[in-house]
């Protein structure tokens, strides 16, 4: 089994590994494969030592395991050798079964817990290494629209279908921001505060002064406050989907193409990012 196939098979059904990229899953699977090899070899060796020790402790067992000779007349020596070989083979199969069955049982019993443990260790390391000042969502292509998404799966499907490059660059369950709250600042053209959502406010209220109205709209910066569903961190898909939904029915002045999030500052313990868009 090659590394790619093993990683795909082993990571299937383990939800903890969803936050990892495929390369990170390979790292986890390779580490667990080495651990399983050492554990299984150790168990098989201990069983073999126990069998050998049992032979010396109980002579009848040694006689039974080595009883492969069959006394026959010279005329029947070939048949005797064949019978001895078959008897020896049956004993060897018994020994192998005694060694392999418990070893394979341990292998399949501890494989998933080991994968989960190594995944948690890698995620914790990623969270510790993730800086809130890093720019994020810079490697995915997307155009904001008036379609609102209630499902991460549906949103991910549309992102992957949007452009071929997203299939390789988009890791929906990867960790985007290691914080339970984030503020997103974006520029929009609005007719007034009635267009704001409950989690939004105008950065500078003077932008809504009547003298700043041009062609019936105000050009202003809006700050949106977002909360992570898991109360710990934002995944790429959750963060981008929530940003997308914030912009539904907002006039972006033709700049509807995502260019990423640029770190601006921190509002207390909450990081603030500016949404970068282009035409």
> 233 and 268: one domain?
yes
Question: Does 143 map to a domain?
Answer: no
Question: Does 135 map to a domain?
Answer: no
- Given 95, 129, 163, the domain boundary residue is 129
Sheet of 200-202: strands edge to edge?
A: 200-202, 218-227, 181-190, 270-278, 257-267
- Given 94, 129, 164, the domain boundary residue is 129
> 157 and 260: one domain?
yes
Contact 32, 118 (CB under 8 A): yes
Contact 173, 11 (CB under 8 A): no
- Pairing assessment for the beta strands 270-278 and 181-190 based on DSSP bridges: parallel
137: left (phi over 0), alpha (psi -120 to 50) or beta: left
Q: How confident is the model at residue 157, as a pLDDT? A: 94
> 20 and 115: one domain?
yes
- Given 129, 160, 187, the domain boundary residue is 129
> 9 and 116: one domain?
yes
Question: Does 142 map to a domain?
Answer: no
- Domain range for 233 is 152-278
Q: How confident is the model at residue 84, as a pLDDT? A: 47
> 64 and 19: one domain?
yes
Q: Encoding tokens for residue 234?
A: 């934002």
Q: How confident is the model at residue 131, as a pLDDT? A: 57
Looking at the 3D structure of the chain, how many domains does it have? 2
> 46 and 90: one domain?
yes
Contact 122, 28 (CB under 8 A): yes
Question: Does 141 map to a domain?
Answer: no
* pTM assigned to the model: 0.64
> Over its length of 279 residues, how does the chain's per-residue pLDDT go in tens digits?
678 888 888 888 888 788 787 888 888 899 899 999 999 889 888 888 887 787 777 666 666 555 544 444 444 455 444 444 445 556 667 767 777 888 888 888 888 899 988 888 887 776 666 655 678 999 899 999 999 999 999 999 999 999 998 988 888 888 899 889 999 999 999 999 999 999 999 999 999 999 999 999 999 999 999 999 999 889 999 999 999 999 999 999 999 999 999 999 888 889 999 999 998
Question: Does 137 map to a domain?
Answer: no
Residue 10: Cβ-neighbour burial (10 angstroms; 0-12, 13-18, 19+): buried
| DSSP labels, the chain | --HHHHHHHHHTT-GGGGGS-HHHHHHHHHHHHHHHHHHHHHHHHHHHHHHHHHHHH-HHHHHHHT-------GGGHHHHHHHHHHHHHHHHHHHHHHHHHHHHHHHHHHHHHHHHHHHHHHHHHHHHH--TTS-BS-S---B--S-----HHHHHHHHHHH-THHHHH--TTSEEESSSEEEEEEEEEESSGGG--TTEEES-GGGGSGGG-BTTBEEEEEEEEEE-TTSS-EEHHHHHHHHHHHHTT-B-TT--EEEEEEEEEEETTEEEEEEEEE-
Chain-centre distance of CA 203, in angstroms?
36
């Amino acid at each position: 089994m090659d590394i790619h196939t093993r990683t795909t098979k082993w990571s299937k059904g383990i939800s903890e590994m969803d936050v990892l990229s495929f390369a990170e899953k390979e790292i986890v699977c390779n580490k667990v494969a080495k651990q399983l090899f050492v554990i299984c070899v150790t168990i098989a060796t201990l069983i073999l030592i126990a069998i050998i020790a049992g032979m010396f402790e109980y002579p009848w067992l040694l006689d039974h395991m080595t009883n492969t000779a069959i006394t026959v007349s010279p005329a029947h020596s070939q048949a005797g050798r064949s019978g001895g070989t078959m008897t020896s083979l049956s004993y060897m199969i018994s020994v192998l079964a005694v060694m392999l069955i418990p070893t394979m049982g341990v292998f399949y019993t501890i494989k998933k817990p080991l994968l989960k443990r190594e995944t948690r260790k890698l995620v914790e390391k990623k969270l510790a290494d993730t800086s809130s000042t890093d720019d994020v969502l810079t490697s995915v292509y997307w155009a904001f629209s008036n379609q609102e998404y209630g499902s991460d799966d549906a949103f991910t499907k549309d992102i992957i279908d949007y452009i071929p490059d997203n299939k390789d660059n988009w890791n929906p369950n990867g960790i985007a921001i290691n914080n339970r709250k984030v503020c997103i600042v974006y520029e929009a053209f609005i007719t007034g505060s009635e267009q704001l959502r409950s989690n939004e406010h105008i950065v500078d209220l003077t932008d809504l002064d009547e003298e700043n109205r041009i062609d019936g709209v105000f050009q202003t910066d809006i700050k949106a406050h977002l909360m992570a569903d898991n109360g710990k961190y934002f995944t790429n898909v959750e963060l981008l989907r929530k940003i997308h939904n914030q912009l539904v029915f907002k006039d972006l002045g033709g700049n509807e193409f995502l260019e990423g999030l640029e770190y601006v500052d921190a509002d207390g313990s909450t990081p603030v990012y500016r949404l970068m868009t282009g035409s």
